[in-house]
Structure formats: structure tokens, C-alpha cells
């Protein structure tokens, strides 16, 4: 099978509210997103198709065929719209990122002849995205940031081996990074809120368990969980996953960006 991905862009406005809830409850669950006048985003939709190669044309599917189907849907129902007021489905359902990507999936899933819709990823902004694939679940990813110092050095290796393997990262006094952490939870969007997990609850857990522990710290010297470990990003993403898995029952995976070039990922379990 060959997999092909295409990106589309659209802008839309929305707000998050449950009409039967009090103002206080809406603000507690949805925060600023509950403001009735709404807010907006420049969305990016990634459409991934898979199929067999046509030996005559040398393609799986014509890009223009993907565009004709997806752009028609986006332009007619989403682009330039205020979803709560103008989209029939989202007049009754909270237009969260998870619910939008779920709606798009079922609207597109049977629309590509001779190939299969494999995955949709909807980016609401740099810090929030949702994904829908072939199973019944929807995943939501939230991005966080912390900065920290570390020295790559293993007591199980000789000084020469450490220098050879880690190079300048073995510097005695250490060095540092701006780390970006992707936390992905997976499940069925809640019937009332439209969210896989309440964002404020997720933010509180990640802040309490991870950010306060690692941010502006020297990983070798200040973090108890890393005291006897070489704090590579391989180790760090594993430790972060272990710390969060005990607090987030629907945690799917964590991803750690050490730099723009270096990314590490650890799955909790298949949900």
C-alpha cells in the first residue's frame, strides 16, 4: 500500500457552550472558549489516503480528485463560517477540534473511489490538534513547552566512550534545550462537551506532573526520577510517559521535540 497526504486550509469561528449549563459551569469547563461572541482559527486539515499503485498512471489517486472532494466540502460547510450559527450539525454539537475532525471523517470516508481514506488530522493551532483514523476513537494532541539543561553522560561508560558517543553534549557543565512536549489522549468525544478530555484538566495534570518538575531545571541534578539515569531525550520521553500514564487513563502517547530536527515518541498502550 502507498500512503498519500494532502493539506488544506480554512478559517472558521466557533464557541464552546452547553446550553443547559450555567454560565459558571460553561466557563469552568471551556474557559475563554465559552465566550458567546466566539473566536476563530486558521485550520489546517491533513487528508491521508492509501491505496495500490496504478501501473499505467504511476499514481494511487489523482491529487485533483482529492481536492475536488475535500475542497467542495470545506468551502460549502466550513470556510469563512461561524459554525455554531451556520452549520446544522454544530448548531446541536459543540464544535471542538475532535468533533470537527470526526464529522469530516464520516463526510469523506466513502468519497474516494479506488482508494481508502486512512487518516485525518485537524490542526486548530500550533498547540492543539485532533486525529481520526480507521478505528472508532478520536485522538487529541496538546503541545506544551519547557526549557531545561542536561549533560549526556553514562556512569556505565568510560570517559572516552562518553566523549566518543555524545561529543559536545558530554560537556562537563551541560547544555540545554527548549523542549516541546506533545501529549496525546485518545477516546470517544464526550456527548456533552465534544472533547476527548477536558482541556483545562489536561493542562492542570501536565503542568503539575511535568512542567513544574522539569521547567528551568538541570535534569541531571534537579530531577529525582533521572538521578541515576543518563537524561537523553530517549530516556526523558519514557520517564514523562510513565509519570503521565498514572494520571491520564486515556493517555495514548507522548512526543518530545528536543530540537526541530530531533523528535522522540513513546506510546503508552494501544487503546
Which residues does the annotation mark as catalytic? 169, 216, 258
- List Cβ neighbours of 119 (8 Å cut-off, separation of 6 or more): 46, 48, 131, 132, 133, 134
What is d(CA 244, CA 205) in angstroms, rounded to the nearest whole number?
A: 8
SS3 label, residue 27: helix
C-alpha cell at 254: 507522548
- Phi, psi at 221, each rounded to 5°: -105, -25
Counted residue by residue, the chain has a size of 271
Query: What DSSP assignment string belongs to 88-135?
Result: TGGGTS---HHHHHHHHHHHHTT-STTSEEEEEEEEEETTEEEEE-SS
Neighbours of 37 (CB within 10 A): 7
Amino acid at each position: 500500500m502507498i500512503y498519500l497526504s494532502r493539506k488544506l486550509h480554512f478559517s472558521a469561528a466557533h464557541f464552546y457552550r452547553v446550553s443547559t449549563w450555567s454560565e459558571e459551569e460553561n466557563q469552568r469547563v471551556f474557559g475563554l472558549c465559552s465566550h458567546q461572541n466566539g473566536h476563530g482559527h486558521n485550520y489546517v486539515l491533513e487528508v491521508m489516503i492509501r491505496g495500490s499503485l496504478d501501473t499505467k498512471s504511476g499514481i494511487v489517486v489523482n491529487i485533483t480528485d482529492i481536492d475536488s472532494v475535500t475542497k467542495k466540502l470545506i468551502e460549502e460547510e466550513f470556510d469563512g463560517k461561524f459554525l455554531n450559527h451556520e452549520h446544522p450539525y454544530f448548531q446541536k454539537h459543540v464544535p471542538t477540534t475532535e468533533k470537527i475532525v470526526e464529522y469530516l471523517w464520516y463526510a469523506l470516508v466513502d468519497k474516494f473511489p479506488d482508494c481508502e481514506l486512512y487518516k485525518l488530522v485537524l490542526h486548530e493551532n500550533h498547540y492543539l490538534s485532533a486525529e481520526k483514523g480507521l478505528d472508532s476513537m478520536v485522538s487529541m494532541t496538546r503541545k506544551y513547552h519547557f526549557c531545561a539543561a542536561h549533560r549526556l553522560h553514562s556512569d556505565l561508560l568510560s570517559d572516552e566512550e562518553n566523549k566518543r558517543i555524545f561529543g559536545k553534549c558530554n560537556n562537563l557543565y551541560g547544555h540545554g534545550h527548549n523542549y516541546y512536549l506533545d501529549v496525546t489522549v485518545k477516546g470517544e468525544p464526550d456527548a456533552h462537551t465534544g472533547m476527548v478530555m477536558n482541556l483545562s484538566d489536561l493542562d492542570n495534570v501536565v503542568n503539575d506532573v511535568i512542567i513544574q518538575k522539569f521547567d528551568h531545571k538541570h535534569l541531571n541534578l534537579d530531577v529525582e526520577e533521572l538521578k541515576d539515569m543518563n537524561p537523553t531525550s530517549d530516556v526523558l520521553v519514557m520517564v514523562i510517559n510513565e509519570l503521565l500514564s498514572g494520571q491520564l487513563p486515556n493517555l495514548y502517547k507522548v512526543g518530545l521535540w528536543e530540537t526541530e530536527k530531533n523528535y522522540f515518541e513513546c506510546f503508552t498502550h494501544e487503546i
